[in-house]
Structure 1
Amino acid sequence: MTSLFSPRVSRTCLSLAAAGVLLGASLSAQAATWRGWNVHPDGYPNSLALKSFAEEVAKTTDGRVEPKVYNNGVLGDQPDAIEQARSGALDFGNFNMGPMGPVVPETDVLSLPFLFKNVEQMYRVMDGDIGKRFAAALAEKNLIALSWFGSGARSFYDTKRPIETPDDVKGLKLRVMNNDLYVQMVDALGGNATPMAYSEVFQSLKTGVIDGAENNFPSFESSNHYEVAKYYSLTEHLIIPECLCVAKSSWEALSDADQRAVRTAAENAAQEQRQLWAERVAKSRAIVEKAGVKINQVKDKAAFQQRMEPIYQAFTDKHPELASLIEEIRQTP
């Protein structure tokens, strides 16, 4: 009878053990759990599309990549999340281009008011060669843009009156996101721009600290701002794309085949998000109209656009290398 401690059996056991260690290391190297950032709540169009992205990636990579999306901004606010993704602490995220400017100055172009004709034109721009140029700029900052989401058209809403001409903005205290371009936009219309955290807007509208704000229909409705601001004017002054971006370090760790699978899943997620967004806009608009909000279509947007020319001039004076890009976007049919 051969002892378990005989040299032959010991060598066999050691060989099997070594093989197990190597196999375990191989599986560990192939499998990666990705953490993803998303500011939106469960059930929001972006959140649903990101869920589909995660499921498709896990399936098409045979579990080598297992994305997990953290909604509601629980992993930090967007500026923090961008930095985490750039450093590789986060693997991916759905980022709006509005706050991206401090990291990627070229993306400030996308925050210029009245840059795009409408949402569909924005999609055509971002899906084409111009979108690839923005993606290249993001890649230089360690963010790989795989596809472009929409966030609708932002319009003004307030507690005082409909906004039909630029002069109707005069004297209104309007909350804007913390970006100099948005402050300049309201100032150019004669209003008083008030940068403020989004969470403070409802109470500020209710107490009269501000007269209004600007946002898309889903945000206007889901935040309950429509309960206190009864005028929504379709200026559609900002149409800002969002990216589904992957950390460069996470991207480069993938095989070519898995990179293709992840990119395809991101492109599919973008198409789903756009469709879901359009449906949500219609639903949100119906809700606020039923609640008594007076919605007016701005008939002469050119009058608003003319007030923006000094902003464009100052921007191109500061960034002359971006002047041709702005013109290309404006000329895209």
Structure 2
Amino acid sequence: MKVNKILKRVLFFGFLILSSMVIAACGTSKSSSSASGSKGSGTSEDPIKLNYYHVAQENHPTHAVAVEYKEKVEELSEGRLQLEVFCCGQLYPSETDGAEAAIKGDVDIAMSSAPAMSSLNSSFMVFDLPFLFKNEEQAYAALDGELSAALDKKLEEMGLVSIGWGSTGFKQLVSAKDPIKSVDDLKGMRMRVMENKMHMDIFNSLGTNASGLAFGEVYSALSQGTHDMLDSTAAYVMSSSFYEVVDYFTVTNHFFHPAVTFINKETYDSLPEDLQQVLMEAGNIVGEKHRQLVAEQEKTDRKKMVDEGVEIIELSDKELEKFEEAVQPIYEKYEDEIGKDLIDIAKSYSE
């Protein structure tokens, strides 16, 4: 273990003590600012105020996109719409909680990764199918095509209106214990996964001891050694400071996880038609621009990880095939729950 990483872990525990004191002082009740935005008359003098929630840190591309979307909406509406952006778990601890708040109308606009939506609607589990897309081009085509159109209908049934489909990128294997160079290296590893039953099934089938854990608890779990590894992107490894407590980053591209931005349907329907159009016109920012920024940031952050002492491991095609073969039964197991038609649509983009 590198000396600087040990020092950072010591500092981290000091930070935990200070943080607990701050949290105790602040309390956990939500302030009035977390409630759905105030509805003005929709003029520049009396604008309609909406809030926008996501869980990413301020130094992650997702937050930059949220801020740019806010600015674009305010510009196009000539100040008649104003957005307030909340990030970093300020309002709710998870993406699923944020999505539920948007459904209830406690939040106006939210961005959530597709896996976080799967506990609310099993159709979104389609993006949890391992090795579904071979590259970004295939994934983006699906987000601009029939697959996202089908899922937009599911969102509407949930009381939400889709604004745009962005990306959190492809997920890789990140280890704080031993290097992952083969499927066999996963055996017995204590792996953090999203609180998602398919993820648990997938990684347990690969030999890990997988358990769900909220994202905000991952750093502590890796630092204390209660978990050995997780799957993540370089952007999250850097923005969440995981590089301080992990040593290996194995490129597998096992999941492509999009991020969808949506607005509460009642809120959307209450807006004048021209302001509805503003929200949608600016949607390319949380769609195409988000994908672009995430892809660029991933390249940059991989270089930063190496500078911080994290080793990047590239697997051979033959070794990757072993990973794919091991998880193929997952497709059949979840076919009825996801829907065969939806799986066939998704697979058509990689044929």
TM-score between both structures, scaled by the size of structure 1 = 0.86
1:309 equivalent to 2:328? Answer yes
2:240 aligns with one of 223, 236, 240: 223
Counterpart CA distance in 2 for 1:187 and 1:89 is: 36
Tell me what 1:173 maps to. Answer: 190
Larger radius of gyration: 1
How far 1:61 sits from its partner (Å)? 1.8
Amino acid at match of 1:245: F
Q: What does 1:160-239 correspond to in 2, within 5 Å?
A: 160-239=177-256
- Are 2:44 and 2:78, in contact at CA under 8 Å, matched by a contact in 1? no
Q: What does 1:19-98 correspond to in 2, within 5 Å?
A: 27=43, 31-77=47-93, 78-98=95-115
- Are 2:57 and 2:239, in contact at CA under 8 Å, matched by a contact in 1? no
1:136 equivalent to 2:153? Answer yes
Amino acid at match of 2:293: L
How far 1:95 sits from its partner (Å)? 1.1
SS of residue in 1 equivalent to 2:227: coil
How far 1:324 sits from its partner (Å)? 2.7
Runs of 4+ in 1 over 4 A off after TM superposition: 24-30
- Are 1:147 and 1:245, in contact at CA under 8 Å, matched by a contact in 2? yes
Total equivalences in the alignment: 308
SS of residue in 1 equivalent to 2:134: coil
Counterpart CA distance in 2 for 1:244 and 1:51 is: 13
SS of residue in 2 equivalent to 1:131: helix
How far 1:302 sits from its partner (Å)? 2.2
SS of residue in 1 equivalent to 2:334: helix
Q: Residue deviations 1:40-83, cap 9 Å, x none? A: 22242111111111111122122222111112121213222212
Q: Residue deviations 1:168-215, cap 9 Å, x none? A: 211111111110111111111111102222233233323322221111
How far 1:268 sits from its partner (Å)? 3.1
Over 3 Å counting, the alpha-carbon distance change for 1:63 and 1:175 in structure 2 is same
Counterpart CA distance in 2 for 1:200 and 1:101 is: 21
Could you tell me the percent identity over the aligned residues? Answer: 28
Over 3 Å counting, the alpha-carbon distance change for 1:248 and 1:293 in structure 2 is same
Amino acid at match of 1:297: E
Q: What does 1:241-320 correspond to in 2, within 5 Å?
A: 241-300=258-317, 301-319=320-338
Amino acid at match of 1:210: H
Counterpart CA distance in 2 for 1:214 and 1:59 is: 38
Amino acid at match of 1:58: E
Counterpart CA distance in 2 for 1:81 and 1:308 is: 30
Counterpart CA distance in 2 for 1:330 and 1:118 is: 13
How far 1:237 sits from its partner (Å)? 1.1
Over 3 Å counting, the alpha-carbon distance change for 1:28 and 1:316 in structure 2 is same
- Are 2:92 and 2:98, in contact at CA under 8 Å, matched by a contact in 1? yes
- Are 2:166 and 2:289, in contact at CA under 8 Å, matched by a contact in 1? no
Counterpart CA distance in 2 for 1:92 and 1:318 is: 28
Counterpart CA distance in 1 for 2:233 and 2:155 is: 25
Tell me what 2:346 maps to. Answer: 329
Counterpart CA distance in 1 for 2:186 and 2:137 is: 27
- Are 1:226 and 1:293, in contact at CA under 8 Å, matched by a contact in 2? yes
Counterpart CA distance in 1 for 2:140 and 2:41 is: 43
SS of residue in 2 equivalent to 1:325: helix
Q: Residue deviations 1:89-120, cap 9 Å, x none? A: 21101111111112222111112222222233
TM-score between both structures, scaled by the size of structure 2 = 0.82
Deviates more, 1:160-169 or 1:241-250: 160-169
Over 3 Å counting, the alpha-carbon distance change for 1:209 and 1:68 in structure 2 is same
Tell me what 1:108 maps to. Answer: 125
| Gap regions ≥5 residues in structure 1 | 1-23
How far 1:291 sits from its partner (Å)? 2.2
Over 3 Å counting, the alpha-carbon distance change for 1:288 and 1:250 in structure 2 is same
Amino acid at match of 2:69: F
Amino acid at match of 2:303: A
Over 3 Å counting, the alpha-carbon distance change for 1:57 and 1:190 in structure 2 is same
SS of residue in 2 equivalent to 1:116: coil
Counterpart CA distance in 1 for 2:43 and 2:313 is: 59
| Gap regions ≥5 residues in structure 2 | 1-39
- Are 1:164 and 1:299, in contact at CA under 8 Å, matched by a contact in 2? no
Amino acid at match of 2:89: G
